[in-house]
Amino acid sequence: MRDIVVIGAGGHAAVVADAIRCGRDTVVAFADADPAKIGWSLQGASIVDEARIGASFDRDTYLLANGIGGVRDTTLRRRVQEQLEHDGWRFATIRHPAAIVSDHATIVDGAQVLAGCIVQAGAHIGRGAIVNTGAIVEHDCTIGEWTHLAPAATVCGDVTIGAGSIVGARAVVIQGIRIGAETLIGAGAVVVRNFEGGGTLYGVPARPIRTKA
Ligand SMILES: CC(C)(COP(=O)(O)OP(=O)(O)OC[C@H]1O[C@@H](n2cnc3c(N)ncnc32)[C@H](O)[C@@H]1OP(=O)(O)O)[C@@H](O)C(=O)NCCC(=O)NCCS
């Protein structure tokens, strides 16, 4: 059984904490940087100051879980975890017991596969990535580091999605597509063409609305 401190005390943190408890591990506390939350509690666990977790918890005994979500941007989630890892903390891989994960899929350390998602054979889920509630990752997909597949997103077979991207709720990426890094795909979009990355796509079929300068 693992004792885990969840970083963040918002909506994604609460979902991650549920997944931890369903897996029979223990959430010992939440840690947040927002002074308005520190000293309060969430789901019966106290919210401590993220800047002072080293004073409360021993990094050789406790693991961390990344409870920072990423609806438009995954940068904060990545930056906070990388800083804490640099400080010597280890992040737990979170796997909800109601996630269906092939024995032939790879879930890299620190990734999160949440309730009701399905990850099929040959799929690779990168470091710090989120496969959120009910998302589907079909066979032989590669999901980049820190990328967030939002609830009910469907990534069909042999798709590659670059690092730091977001696939919106109920969006579909059809088979064989290549999506570059830092792409934001709108909710409900259907992606039928490759996209080099660094912009936003939405609609059916999905078209770019914005690209980085
Ligand atoms: C695509 C998205 C990033 C656009 O956000 P935005 O840049 O703030 O765009 P706006 O909300 O200003 O909308 C701009 C236009 O696009 C339309 N639009 C926005 N999102 C859309 C979507 N997903 N599909 C189709 N049209 C969309 C709006 O209706 C608006 O149209 P209008 O100009 O005719 O009024 C966002 O709407 C989205 O879908 N994000 C993903 C949300 C999600 O899946 N969250 C999961 C949380 S776990």
What's the mean pLDDT in 64-79? 95
pLDDT digits (tens, 9 = 90+) for 5-22: 999 999 999 999 999 999
- CA of 69, closest atom in ligand 1: 48
For residues 25-40, give the mean pLDDT: 97
User: What are the C-alpha distances in Å from 180 to residues 99, 109, 110?
Assistant: 26, 22, 22
Give the integer Cα–Cα distance in Å for 4 and 96: 14
150 lines ligand 1 (CB under 6 A): yes
How is residue 149 written in tokens?
């597949």
* Domains, the chain, ordered by start: 3-92 (3.40.50.20), 95-200 (2.160.10.10)
Atom of ligand 1 nearest to the CA of 184: 3
* pLDDT at site 210: 62
Pocket flag, ligand 1, residue 188 (CB < 6 Å): yes
**Measured distance CA(21)–CA(4) in Å, rounded:** 10
Tokens of 109: 């350390």
Do 81 and 65 contact (CB within 8 A), yes or no?
A: no
Amino acid at residue number 68:
I
Whether the link from the prior residue into 205 is cis, omega within 30° of 0, is yes
In short, whether 160's Cβ falls inside 6 Å of ligand 1 is no
